[in-house]
Amino acid sequence: MKIGIGSDHGGYELKEYIKEYLEQQEIEYIDYGTDSFDSVDYPDYGLKLSKAVISGEVDKGIAICGTGIGISISCNKVRGIRCALCSDTYSARMSREHNDANILALGGRVVGKDLAIEIVSTWLKAEFQGGRHERRINKISDIEA
């Protein structure tokens, strides 16, 4: 599994922390920026990450901004992206099992580092259950079309 990760300046510190976790777990990743605390626009990084997920360059993505709200909205504007903003492990698991979320959004100024790692770990381990949930995902795709 290859993960894409991207953030704006508000998510930069948490992004770097999550990258350390991914390295410890020997999970391959591509960092789509940003590379500092300098102010940048979250839609730019949400778009880079979303395009990488849609193209198959990465299997899933993790998007981070200050609250996670702006970058999740940006990611969800890309057809085929199902980005879930999660601040707890239950929502993270359900976003994969029921919603087949392909990008996890986190708030770097909202979620503590240790909780963020628990959320990421839970999200990466969870798998889409299909079944009745597949029908619902197809309806979302119909809305996009």
Catalytic residue among 9, 65, 83, 86: 65
Please enumerate in sequence order all residues whose Cβ is within 8 A of that of 33, keeping only pairs 6 or more positions apart, or say none: 6, 7, 40, 45, 48
Active-site annotation holds for 133? no
Do 75 and 49 contact (CB within 8 A), yes or no? yes
Given this model, what pLDDT does residue 145 score? 87
Given this model, what pLDDT does residue 26 score? 98
One digit per residue, the tens of pLDDT, for the chain of length 145 reads: 999 999 999 999 999 999 999 999 999 999 999 999 999 999 999 999 999 999 999 999 999 999 999 999 999 999 999 999 999 999 999 999 999 999 999 999 999 999 999 999 999 999 999 999 999 999 999 998 8
Given this model, what pLDDT does residue 51 score? 98
Catalytic residue among 9, 75, 83, 98: 98
Active-site annotation holds for 9? no
All domains in the chain, ordered by first residue: 2-144 (3.40.1400.10)
7: part of which helix (H) or strand (E)? Answer: strand 2-7
End-to-end CA separation in angstroms for the chain: 28
Give the Å distances, CA to CA, from 114 to 18, 61, 72, 117: 10, 19, 21, 5
